[in-house]
Structure 1
Amino acid sequence: MKQLTFNITINAPREKVWNVLWGDETYPEWTRAFSEGSRAETDWKKGSKVRFVDSNGDGMISGISDAIPNEYMEITHEGTIMNGKEDYSAAEAGGWAGAKETYTLKDAGGKTELHIYTDITDEYSEMFSSMWPKALDAVKQLSEN
């Protein structure tokens, strides 16, 4: 498992960036960098389950480990969804059960510093290393407009 980090400064307040990251309409816009038609089924509250799915309904099951509005989100990946069925054993077999993603938003004089930390298997490290900057550029564009 590798750990990847990404940082971007956005000319918008933390509240705006937070709403872009987790908004029902904006989440699919910035996550298009990972998968066209992706969406998240959740309320984004601590302790809640998240179903990250693509346009076919396949994807990942995760949990919100921590959520402090406008400041911090921690997501722990737990399983997969294939053909509408949840499978927690696939994550164990693939070596990424318990992998985390964290999003930290810090005020920077009216701007927001967004810091992303993510665990990723070696197999997908290169792919996600090129996808995350595109996703963050989309978050920046959506937040600044």
Structure 2
Amino acid sequence: RKWTGAFQEGSYAETDNWKEGSKVLFLDGKRNGMVSQVAANRPNEFMSFKHLGEVKDGVEDTTSEKVKQWTGGMENYTLKETNGVTELQVEMDITEEYKDYFANTWPKALEQVKALSEK
């Protein structure tokens, strides 16, 4: 939960497991966020999520016109090691509406990931 606070204070992921095909809710403290699916999980190498919709006050929406604009968007995390240094690469499909937000927020989140991984 520490590194995701850069996106929304108190945000977290909720799932029964992290296996491919599993549902994942990415939520804030008010149970608002996104409903997604684990598209791929190769431990210590690659993790991919397919975004299916949003969650508002704990209710999932996968069918509204607003959600359909970005349903199916992917978010990928890749770990690569070179000369004993591990690099985390993030790839994310986003709509133009959120481009500036993520351009400003991802660097803060990745600094938190770096700090946590170096402890």
Q: Secondary structure at the match of 1:106?
A: strand
Q: Secondary structure at the match of 2:93?
A: strand
2:6 matches 1:33:
yes
| Partner Cα distance (1:138, 1:88) in 2 | 31
Cα RMSD for the two superposed structures? 0.8
2:21 matches 1:47:
yes
Alignment of 1:115-130 (within 5 A): 115-130=89-104
Residue 14 of structure 1 corresponds to none
| Partner Cα distance (2:105, 2:98) in 1 | 11
Q: Which structure's residues are more often helix, by fraction?
A: 1
Cα deviations across residues 37-77 of structure 1 (Å, max 9, x unaligned)? 00100222211100011000111100000110000001010
**Regions of 4+ moved over 3 Å:** none
TM-score (normalised: structure 1) = 0.78
Specify which of 42, 46, 50 is matched with residue 68 of structure 1.
42
Task: State how many pairs are aligned.
Answer: 116
Percent identity over the alignment? 49
> How far off is 1:109 after superposition?
2.2
| Partner Cα distance (2:32, 2:92) in 1 | 21
| Partner Cα distance (2:76, 2:52) in 1 | 15
Q: Secondary structure at the match of 1:81?
A: strand
Q: Secondary structure at the match of 2:29?
A: coil
Unpaired runs of 5+ in structure 1? 1-27
- AA matched with 2:98: Y
- AA matched with 2:43: P
Specify which of 79, 82, 100 is matched with residue 105 of structure 1.
79
Unpaired runs of 5+ in structure 2? none
Larger RCO, structure (CA 8 Å, separation 6 or more): 1
Q: Secondary structure at the match of 1:37?
A: coil
